[in-house]
Amino acid sequence: MEVTNAPSTTYDASEIQVLEGLQAVRKRPGMYIGSTSSSGLHHLVYEIVDNCVDEALAGFCTEILVQINDGDTITVTDNGRGIPVDIQAQTGRPALEVVYTVLHAGGKFGGGGYKVSGGLHGVGASVVNALSEWLTVQVHRDGSIYEMKFRRGEVVEPLTVVGTTDRTGTTVTFKPDPEIFEDTVYDYDILRTRMREEAFLTAGLQIRTVDARPGVEQEHSMCYRGGIREFVTWLNKNRDPLHPEVIYMTAQRGDSVAEIAMQYHDGYNETIFSFANNVHTPEGGMHEEGFKRALTSVLNAYGHKMKLLKDDEKVSGEDCREGLTCVISVKLTEAQFEGQTKSKLGNSEIRTLVNAMVSEKLEVFLEENPQTARAIVDKAMTASRAREAAKKARESIRRKTGLESGQMPDKLQDCNERDPSLCEIYIVEGDSAAGSAIQGRDSRFQAILSMWGKMLNVEKARADKIYGNDKLYPMIVALGAGIGNEFNIDKLRYHKIIIMADADVDGAHIRTLLLTFFFRYMRPLIERGYVYSAVPPLYKLTRGKTVRVAYSDAERDRVSAELRGGNPNTKVEINRFKGLGEMDPHELWETTMDPERRSLRRITLDDAVRADEVFTILMGEQVEPRKEWIERNAMYAVNIDI
């Protein structure tokens, strides 16, 4: 047998590659910033800002400026102590140069520089430098202004004194490298949202964001003296709180500090945002675990003590957290983050601190505020009864439909492949469109689930209503992973879940309803990147036997001109697709389902706080915030077929 391009049969020292300096960062940027997409691009700014926030946490910085400049460069300025510029003993080079050119160098590894810190464990500044086309640092310190310039991680101008000053602080300006990033255009709203979060988490710190690009100039200043209490108030601004006050608790043990702010509302969704050293931990960890355990224990103990619960009655953790908005923030010296992206906190001692704090202080609050305490326990009891009703509804539906035996819903046309990573399911609105999809699909790996009519708005419903819903329950069964706290992504039957709806207002509404459901009850689907929206064409253009499609008005005009070939008298027939059901099976396959030619939009969750706010506004009970949002964003609703 002939083997081509076979690897060398020898394996010796010559096979070992050593990457000098910051070469490793440029070769594998995703290892350090997650990706080279928009999220990674914005992550560069967060790393520099994290260094400024560390100065604030240490008590030396009160103001931070984040500015987008013309040309999509970024400037971050703080009024902290300024990065040291004297010679670092181990390297014999200025400390500023070491910080920006050596991985794992900084004031975060002992030596008393910082008690707590976020960022990438001291690799942040050097990583940003490595992934920038150019970067300039100015340090105001000891009466002088020091400057150093870099290009793709290499020093191009050594440390130089360029002036005198009467202030302290650091200014960093950099240009993301287009050789690394897919796009180097910054989104002001994304940066502003993240900076608002940082301001909430560091009470009294003023953060100013500025967009100085011509034609879009804007700026915002954020400072929250109430810290995470104001964060909870802000999160609940489009909801109806169950009690007026935000419950706040804080405690300290050694160098570790924990603080929690929480408030219930009359909705059904649990919203918990946790942070460790100002780093968001979307997968929770020990701080969340300590809080949840204590909350459940305290509410059950209070309910029994006040005879609100019978002796043999108990509310679960899920019941206790229904309608809860909570922010957990801990600061500790040696934070142990699990995973490269720091999504989970692993310090067991912080669980003990948080559990003890909540057990003691929440009990005192409930004793001193009996009216609020009664409202909270009553809500948990109502949630418990609804959960039992949901369980009975689920079991009843399974018995009626025979789904406990593993039978799939009638509306599902499954695929032949059984490896979830190779399978995709199209959720299609309407029987006619589903019919075309079934005939046009590749049945080896593409499944079709037909839906009809408007589905339930889960923002206004509990789980018992969901299990009883004739639109949602078949989808839950087809996906196979359950919902809510029972959701198990390992049981998911498809790793591509594609929403295919018409390109009109009704189709947009259906997509929004489905995405609300996924966000509230199957969020890991979005976090893993398994949810997509199909992009069907808007127009069909015909000239003789030549047929083309267009996905926008601009593309329609361009394709029409191409078909005319510069001859204005040539007739080109243009038809607007009114719906997916109008397409023949082969048209639907060629334009919307063929993996070689289709367009899919992946639904991402880069900002959970913003997503929670938008879903609450669009799908929640309050009408006024929704009206204001529509009026504010109406200008962007172009090309909608009403």
- CA-to-CA separations, 328 to 140, 175, 364, 592, in angstroms, rounded: 35, 34, 19, 43
Q: What residues contact 198, with CB distance under 8 A and at least 6 apart?
A: 49, 53, 64, 205, 207, 278
Active site residue 54: no
**Do the bridges between strand 206-211 and strand 169-176 make them parallel or antiparallel, or are there none, so unpaired?**
unpaired
Q: Out of 97, 429, 464, 607, which one is annotated catalytic?
A: 429
53: left (phi over 0), alpha (psi -120 to 50) or beta: alpha
Residues in the chain: 642
> Six-digit token pair at 94?
């200025």
Closest CA to 408 of 425, 393, 387, 392: 425
Q: Which positions ≥6 away from 326 have C-beta within 8 Å?
A: 232, 260, 261, 262, 263, 271, 272, 273, 291
CB 55 within 8 A of CB 45: no
Distance CA 452, CA 91 (A): 68
Write down the catalytic residue from 133, 338, 504, 606: 504
Is 504 assigned a catalytic role? yes
3-class SS letters over 286-323 = HHHHHHHHHHHHHHHHHHHHCCCCCCCCCCCHHHHCCC
- The Cβ-side half-sphere exposure at 103, using a 13 Å CA radius, reads 13
Of 97, 259, 319, 502, the active-site residue reads: 502
Measure the CA–CA gap between 24 and 44, rounded to whole angstroms: 16
Q: Is 429 a catalytic residue?
A: yes
Which is the catalytic residue, given 417, 506, 562, 621? 506
Q: Are 344 and 285 in contact (CB under 8 A)?
A: yes
Which residues are part of the catalytic machinery?
A: 429, 502, 504, 506
